[in-house]
Amino acid sequence: MARTKNPTSQFARFIGPVIQAIRELGGSGRPDEVRSVVARALRISDSEQSEPLPSGVQTRFENQVHWARFYLAKAGYIDSSQRGVWTLTEKGRALGPVSPEEIQQIVREVSAQKPPPGADSAAADADKTVPVVGDYREELAQTLHGLPAAGFERFCQRLLRESGFQEVTVTGRSGDGGIDGIGILQVNALVSFKVLFQCKKYAGSVTPSHVRDFRGAMTGRADKGIIITTGSFTSEARKEAVRDGAPSIELVDGEKLAGMMERLELGLRPRQTFELDAAFFSEFRK
């Protein structure tokens, strides 16, 4: 993905494709689904999708798509209240093809708003980590990425146990095709699955070759596989994971990982907060 001299255009170019991607997904979609559609539409290669930011928290592609979503949410085209799901608002559904002039207008209008803490220089510094749901998610990503390899494996072991897996063991053996552990998922009293998992403490995007290598290592040894990463997966890696005729592999990226930790309240303490609804007070100013 070529870097441009105009930093605003680094994420502004994704504003139209993000709207179109959500429309193609039926009006709503999870971030990884939206990114996959955008990558396919813009023919973004796996290597471009894998390029990490200097911070190592996100890839540049992921970062720029999220900045596009952030501006669209602030402009009222995407519902920002749905945790983990990007949904078109009525204003977004009514929006047709977005022209370059409209994109620049969105950027100008949102940039003129009072920015959130840490996001006041978004247009001037497109490599800054995008605001996410709750400031803690960036801190969480940095914490997980900072764990030693063995520590991250033990964390994944705990995560799987908390998610209902039994007999979860970290193998810790090198030269085992990337297999880091094994567990049993008991579906009911009669049915259970042996599952192998791989832990990738990764800053970039996992590619199809990683998925193929892991599948090759697990073939004949387990019914199912899981790859857990602090990073993300390219669109081609996601396709490879569910390729016809091959054992399917579940993919857990950094966003899904954070969502699982939120639901389980694992390593996270819930805290309620509020944001001012300025529109509510508008009628009292008349």
Q: Give tens-digit pLDDT for 33-81.
A: 899 899 999 999 888 888 877 766 678 888 889 889 989 988 999 986 5
pLDDT at 110: 85
pLDDT at 1: 45
Question: What percentage of the chain reaches a pLDDT higher than 70?
Answer: 84
Is 280 in contact with 256 (CB distance < 8 Å)? no
Report residue 156's pLDDT band, with 50, 70 and 90 as the boundaries: very high
Report residue 25's pLDDT band, with 50, 70 and 90 as the boundaries: very high
Residue predicted with more confidence, 40 or 273: 40
Residue predicted with more confidence, 181 or 280: 181
Q: In the predicted model, is pLDDT for residue 82 greater than 80? A: no
Domains of the chain (ranges; CATH) run: 7-131 (1.10.10.10), 142-264 (3.40.1350.10)
pLDDT at 132: 47
Q: In the predicted model, is pLDDT for residue 105 greater than 90? A: no
Mean pLDDT of the chain: 82
Q: In the predicted model, is pLDDT for residue 13 greater than 70? A: yes
pLDDT at 229: 93
> Model confidence over 224-239: pLDDT tens digits?
899 999 988 998 999 9
Is 197 in contact with 227 (CB distance < 8 Å)? yes
Averaged over 81-85, what is the pLDDT?
65
Q: In the predicted model, is pLDDT for residue 129 greater than 70? A: no
Q: In the predicted model, is pLDDT for residue 136 greater than 80? A: no
pLDDT at 213: 92
Report residue 251's pLDDT band, with 50, 70 and 90 as the boundaries: very high
> Model confidence over 157-198: pLDDT tens digits?
999 999 999 999 998 665 566 899 999 998 888 888 899 999
Report residue 97's pLDDT band, with 50, 70 and 90 as the boundaries: confident
pLDDT at 102: 86
pLDDT at 126: 47
